[in-house]
Amino acid sequence: MLRVRARRVDREATADGIYGIIVSAAVMAASHARSAVAVALSVLVTLIVYWAAERYAGLLAERIHEGHRLDRRQVRRHLTRGWEIVTASWLPLLVLVLLRSVGTSLSAAIGWALGCSTALLCVAGWEMGRQSALSTGERLLSAATAGMFGVLMILLKALLH
């Protein structure tokens, strides 16, 4: 029997994923683009800019605090991490593009994508609680707290459009 071990995700990767979902939801909610592809591209470009800015800031901070030029290995380590900020948004973007491609209005497709983002945030909150051995009530609170970011993006979309 083949045993599959789950990959241990570090704190930074988890935080980057959650942050990426929140930022992508904010971009979708505030977007005035006229097509799902334009919304998706806006999300991806925004997330890549956020990733690059975060990586650049990390490189500068390490150089300042280490007091010397970073070697290739250190630079490579910085530039190969943090991609979860971009990749965590794939499912909401897939929902957006697929629903739009089958004729759902752009506004409704964005709404469903925001709902997907909210669900992902709730799952992340629940998992954080599970990993921390919280009680069921505390896990529910953790999931609800994380999900509130998605709810806020849905409200933002309603207020802006």
| Residue 112 contacts residue 48 (beta carbons within 8 Å) | no
Neighbours of 109 (CB within 10 A): 22
**Model pLDDT, residue 32:** 92
Measure the CA–CA gap between 151 and 62, rounded to whole angstroms. 36
Instruction: Enumerate residues 6+ apart whose C-beta is below 8 A from 45.
Output: none
* Nearest CA-CA partner of 28 in 13, 41, 10, 9: 41
**Model pLDDT, residue 143:** 93
- Would you write out the chain's pLDDT as a tens digit for each of its 161 residues? 344 334 445 778 888 999 999 999 999 999 999 999 999 999 999 999 999 999 999 889 888 888 888 889 988 988 889 999 999 999 999 999 999 999 999 999 999 999 999 999 999 999 888 888 899 999 999 999 999 999 999 999 888 87
Domain-by-domain residue ranges, the chain? 11-160
